[in-house]
Amino acid sequence: MKKIFFLFSLFLFTSLIGFTQKCDKVLFTGKVVDSTSLQSFYNLMIVNRRTGQGVFGQPNGSFSIYVSNGDSISISVTGYFVVNFKVVADIDCQFRRKVYLNPKLRDIQEVIVRPLKTLEQIKEEREGLAMRDTRMVTGIEMLQSPITALYQAFSKKEQNKRWIEQQEYKDNQRRIVQELLRLYVSYDIIDLSEEEFDQFVSFLNINETFLKTATEMELITFIQDKFDHFKIVSQFQTTEKPEWRKTLKSDFKRACNEMVNVYITNHVIELPTSEIEHFITFMNIDANYLNSHTDEDVFNMVYSKYNDFVAFYKIDIRLVNVNFNLTEVNNEDWKWDLKHKSFKVATRTLLKMYNEHGVIRIDDDEMDKFTTFLNLRQSFLVSASNDELLQFVREKYFKYLDFYRK
């Protein structure tokens, strides 16, 4: 009897596991709680670390978000330690969790407290950012009042007024960016020290139109990207003379190759190996420029030229070779299916394996649609090398995204 009960329990357990693994989407609901005091959580953010996307919770601490089974989740609230965990779906494809927050308690010196503004407050300030109008006579008004027009154009007093307005506008823009960055730091979106704030704001050099009109996700993506570059530049500046500078005196061409490869290694730029020489020619720099400019100047020049190069030659950097750590062992399943089952089954097994390794990201309900779009031939599947097959599928994958999701 005990054996029957054990086998039944084992069967039920494995069935439940198998069921949860079939959940394409998991509804994650929960609530954060501060056990020490009654709080309102206006800065509650739930971040899916696999996708890099986040949503804000309700002031009462509750939240809901659709995720995938096994996703890593971080919950961040200003003034509390970040809570990390993995999603484990139940039989209803749901995951419920009550999160107890641990407040950050630190001994600090007396400081002037500047409360963080909410995203909505900063958004209103971004949208309302405008330079106060100093009335200038223009157009047909100049013909009607030429003396006033001349006075405004050449009067030092009027010029000073305009200069003051411009400086106030720049100060307001800088202040809004600083408040936004402080909010991002509190959410652990970027890791910026107090000493780096002014330097990073200058490095951002954010366009005023973009600051006023960008969505929250566009701003987060832009600032995270800039922050990664800022850290790389800071790293370049704190190290001794880069190796490529040591080579510069003896071999200019080799120094340029070493410099570009440093940027590729540090993910500042993404280029196929075949395009490196082409890019160096496109930059059109000489030894005098590299010797007379700082590492930060060279960095900004290379990054600017890289964007121009990609745009001009329409290079799809998504197709740059990436090491997905695939070995011959990973291909055994689809090759076995091709030999013992059918070409269709083998194709499905191949795409599932690519999905698991991040080569493509196709939901199960789109797999048949993508397989038709892929139009993979059995002769090519048999004859192509692993690299050729991977490159073919990735190229078709990005065309699929462009075709169906623009």
Domain ranges, ordered by start, for the chain: 2-100, 119-235, 240-319, 328-405
Q: Percent of the chain beyond pLDDT 90?
A: 12
Separation of alpha carbons 250 and 272, rounded Å: 27
Q: Is the pLDDT of residue 347 over 90?
A: yes
> Residue 98, SS3?
strand
The hierarchical CATH code for the domain 2-100 is 2.60.40.10
Neighbours of 328 (CB within 10 A): 8
Are 78 and 187 in contact, with CB atoms under 8 Å apart? Answer: yes
Q: Is the pLDDT of residue 33 over 80?
A: yes
Are 357 and 331 in contact, with CB atoms under 8 Å apart? Answer: no
> Residue 351, SS3?
helix
The 10s digit of each residue's pLDDT in 296-339 is 788 878 878 887 888 787 776 666 656 677 888 888 999 999 99
pLDDT at 136: 47
Query: What's the rounded mean pLDDT across residues 343-348?
Result: 93
Query: What's the rounded mean pLDDT across residues 21-27?
Result: 78
Q: Is the pLDDT of residue 293 over 90?
A: no
Query: What's the rounded mean pLDDT across residues 341-366?
Result: 89
Separation of alpha carbons 259 and 302, rounded Å: 10
pLDDT at 346: 93
Query: What's the rounded mean pLDDT across residues 282-296?
Result: 88
Are 86 and 55 in contact, with CB atoms under 8 Å apart? Answer: no
Kindly list the distances between the CA atom of residue 336 and the CA atoms of 111, 131, 279, 299, 341, in Å, as whole numbers in the listed order.
Answer: 68, 68, 43, 49, 8
Predicted TM-score (pTM) of the model is 0.38
For residue 139, what pLDDT band results from cuts at 50, 70 and 90?
A: very low
The 10s digit of each residue's pLDDT in 192-227 is 877 777 778 777 777 777 777 777 777 787 787 778
Separation of alpha carbons 57 and 48, rounded Å: 13
The 10s digit of each residue's pLDDT in 64-113 is 888 888 888 888 887 777 888 888 888 889 998 888 887 765 444 443 43
pLDDT at 337: 92
Nearest by Cα to 283 from 263, 250, 246: 263
pLDDT at 131: 47
State the chain's mean pLDDT as an integer.
Answer: 76
Separation of alpha carbons 210 and 217, rounded Å: 12
Who wins on pLDDT, 161 or 65? 65
Q: Is the pLDDT of residue 2 over 60?
A: no
